[in-house]
């Protein structure tokens, strides 16, 4: 298993930029790497990539030197384990509403004694041949694999102290869209109540020694949240594709009419 470059950046206090990729495209992942982004989140919650495609997307990330995270819709060991066995260097689990649920994520990601992940000669372990011993592989995997949980519901906010205190959780991700929905403000991600809640949860997470992540869809937003202390900052590859395409279409509109 390779050194996790994203983990190293976060531990060094460096802001890191990535993108959700919710289209089943290894090329999109690879392109983000060549552009210089630090990580991708292969979105298997809202995206439609199957296991095999996700594994190819992980390979593309490795080829381009970008850390592959995978957002997984189910907090279940067998589900989480398959993406890790395919080579993901971290998982991001949405809708975590309690300390117990956060502990379950950690247990699914970590090999014993820290967790309950099953051990096999999979791609992640070099099919059992990439390391001097499976024991060393387990030690590296337990150290390098990132655990990210999302707080994005009223229940999660209520139990935030327990969630951020969970040993083994590396990153607390604060999802503006679902938080806005929790407050009945569907899609109003810049509403003061949403922004204030993200700020409050950021302080709690940082005080507990966790990294913090959220959406930063513009350089201005990136600067704001970086200044606040959030270092795991991301956009969405489709936003940027749409933005670039729309700017082009706007620029040639007069020529086409």
Q: What is the CATH number of the domain that holds 77?
A: 3.20.20.60
Residues 232 and 69: beta-carbon distance below 8 Å: no
pLDDT at position 191: 93
46 assigned to active site: yes
pLDDT tens digits, one per residue of 110-159 = 999 999 999 998 999 988 886 678 899 999 999 999 999 999 999 999 99
Residues 6+ apart with CB under 8 A from 240: 19
Is the pLDDT confidence value at 16 over 70?
Answer: yes
Asked, as a colleague might, if the bond just before 113 is cis with ω within 30 of 0, I would say yes
pLDDT tens digits, one per residue of 94-110 = 999 999 999 999 999 99
Count the Cβ atoms, other than its own, within 10 Å of residue 177.
15
Closest to 11 in 3D by CA, of 222, 244, 241, 209 = 209
**Domain tally for the chain?**
1
* Range in 10-14, 153-157, 186-190 the model is least confident about: 186-190
| Average pLDDT of the segment spanning 11-32 | 97
The pairing of beta strand 90-93 with beta strand 232-236: unpaired
Closest to 143 in 3D by CA, of 24, 48, 1 = 1
User: Which residue segment(s) compose the domain that 133 sits in?
Assistant: 5-256
* Active-site residue, selected from the candidate residues 19, 46, 79, 191: 46
């Amino acid at each position: 298993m390779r050194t996790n470059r994203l983990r190293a950046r976060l531990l060094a206090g460096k802001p890191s930029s990535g993108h959700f990729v919710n289209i089943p495209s290894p090329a999109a992942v690879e392109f983000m790497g060549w552009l210089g982004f630090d990580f991708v989140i292969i979105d298997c919650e809202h995206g439609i990539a199957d296991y095999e495609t996700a594994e190819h997307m992980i390979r593309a990330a490795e080829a381009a030197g970008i850390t592959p995270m995978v957002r997984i819709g189910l907090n279940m060991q067998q589900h989480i384990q398959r993406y890790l066995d395919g080579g993901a260097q971290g998982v991001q689990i949405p809708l975590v509403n309690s300390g117990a649920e956060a502990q379950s994520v950690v247990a699914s990601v970590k090999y014993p004694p820290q967790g309950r992940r099953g051990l096999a000669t999979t791609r992640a372990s070099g099919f059992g041949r990439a390391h001097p011993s499976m024991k060393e592989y387990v030690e590296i995997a337990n150290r390098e694999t990132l655990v990210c949980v999302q707080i994005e519901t009223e229940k999660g906010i209520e139990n935030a102290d327990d969630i951020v205190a969970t040993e083994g959780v590396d990153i607390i991700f604060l999802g503006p869209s679902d938080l806005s929905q929790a407050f009945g403000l569907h899609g109003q991600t810049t509403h003061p109540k949403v922004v204030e809640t993200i700020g409050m949860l950021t302080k709690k997470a940082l005080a507990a020694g966790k990294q913090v992540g959220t959406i930063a869809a513009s350089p201005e937003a990136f600067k704001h949240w970086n200044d606040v202390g959030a270092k795991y900052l991301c956009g969405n590859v489709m936003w940027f594709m749409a933005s670039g395409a729309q700017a082009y279409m706007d620029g040639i509109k007069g020529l086409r009419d």
